[in-house]
Amino acid sequence: MNILAWNNEIGPWYYFVGLRTEVMINRDSWGMSPEEFKSRVLMFPRRVSPVPLKESSNISIPESWDWRDKGAVSPVRDQGSLGTCWAFSTAQNIEGQRFLKFGVLEQLSVEQLIECDASADVSRGWADCGMFGGWPYLGFQYLMKAGGIFSEKDYPYCAGEGKCLPCMPRNYDLKLCGDHSDLFCKANNTQGQKLEGLCNPKSGFAVSIRDWTRFSQDEREIADALVRTGPLSVLVNADSLQYYSGGIVDADSCDPTELDHAVLLVGYGSEDGQDYWIIKNSWGSSWGEQGYFRLARGSGACGVNQEVVTAFVQNPKAQM
């Protein structure tokens, strides 16, 4: 059964019964059709090769974990109707790393990544494309070259709030991102793309990135990495999340080989025999479970185990 299939005679709230769980759905969420939602909020699907699930390793991990309880997760934010989830996932991973290393939890600049990052991985056919999608690991690579990331206070998010009209990042990959030369934009009303803007900084960063790493696709090893390392950037297929309001999303609800949304893995647990991940979204705190959703753990649900990465931070003075 498709999670988006419903009877129009049913009210705005109903329950989708999955394989082993029950998910509450808000049919009126977003005010968009599924097609509009995919084109305006999600990224263009990134195709990944399916990985056969193997028997999980015997690594010992705590029964449950939640970085929110340990102060490593900033408040939920709202990306608006743009494909900027990748930049939120990137920045919020770094926020957690900075907290764990320096004891400082501060929101970091999403707008910097959207306006300035034109990184591309030609060998894999992936690129960072501003408001049209990107990859957290490429965001880390850009920030390593740039020298660091600004705080949200110094370089606030404006693209998704209608307060600015950024152009595509300079020298973006036309082949991998598509031709957006017809994009209506005003570089001069941005903080980064205007003349002598923050896309060419010399100093002022909140924190710098010294390296990044990608983790195993074994979900027990991912849980161990989450506990040891901090909140992790992940990509998922989010087609079934438009109408989500609560519960554990089952593996049958989405295609694990079509990744179209970047989020932040912050914890895990179990409920009535169902293991789950706790994931921070960027659709505002009124969506889902106060801005979060739970996803089945151990079955590669929605491709959550396909692209799991984190940055490693250092004091920005180390690169100046």
Superfamily for domain range 23-319: Cysteine proteinases (3.90.70.10)
Rounded Cα–Cα distance for residues 218 and 221 (Å): 5
Q: Which residue has the tokens 């438009």?
A: 242
The residue annotated as part of the active site, out of 85, 129, 167, 177, is 85
Report the pLDDT averaged over residues 314-318. Answer: 77
Q: How confident is the model at residue 1 (pLDDT cuts 50, 70, 90)?
A: very low
Reply yes or no on whether the pLDDT at 266 is more than 50.
yes
Q: Which amino acid is at 153?
A: K
pLDDT for 30 equals 57
Q: Which amino acid is at 41?
A: V
pLDDT tens readout for residues 216-228: 999 999 999 999 9
The residue annotated as part of the active site, out of 116, 177, 261, 302, is 261
Handedness of CA 72, 290, 278, 216 (dihedral sign): negative
pLDDT tens readout for residues 139-157: 999 999 999 999 999 999 9
pLDDT tens readout for residues 54-72: 656 688 999 999 999 999 9
Q: What is the mean pLDDT of the chain?
A: 86
pTM over 0.85: yes
Q: Which of 28-32, 115-119, 121-125, 204-208 has the lowest mean pLDDT?
A: 28-32
The residue annotated as part of the active site, out of 93, 237, 281, 305, is 281
Report the pLDDT averaged over residues 94-109. Answer: 98
Q: How confident is the model at residue 19 (pLDDT cuts 50, 70, 90)?
A: very low
CA angle (150 as vertex; 144, 156 as ends), nearest 5: 135
- Among this protein's residues, is 261 annotated catalytic? yes
| Spacing of C-alpha 109 from chain mean position | 14
- Among this protein's residues, is 281 annotated catalytic? yes
Rounded Cα–Cα distance for residues 10 and 90 (Å): 38
Question: E strands within 27-139?
Answer: 46-47, 65-66, 120-121, 126-127
Report the pLDDT averaged over residues 173-198. Answer: 93
Handedness of CA 196, 199, 203, 204 (dihedral sign): positive
Report the pLDDT averaged over residues 199-220. Answer: 94
pLDDT for 246 equals 94
Q: How confident is the model at residue 121 (pLDDT cuts 50, 70, 90)?
A: very high
pLDDT tens readout for residues 278-308: 999 999 999 999 999 999 999 999 999 999 9
pLDDT above 70: percentage of residues in the chain: 82
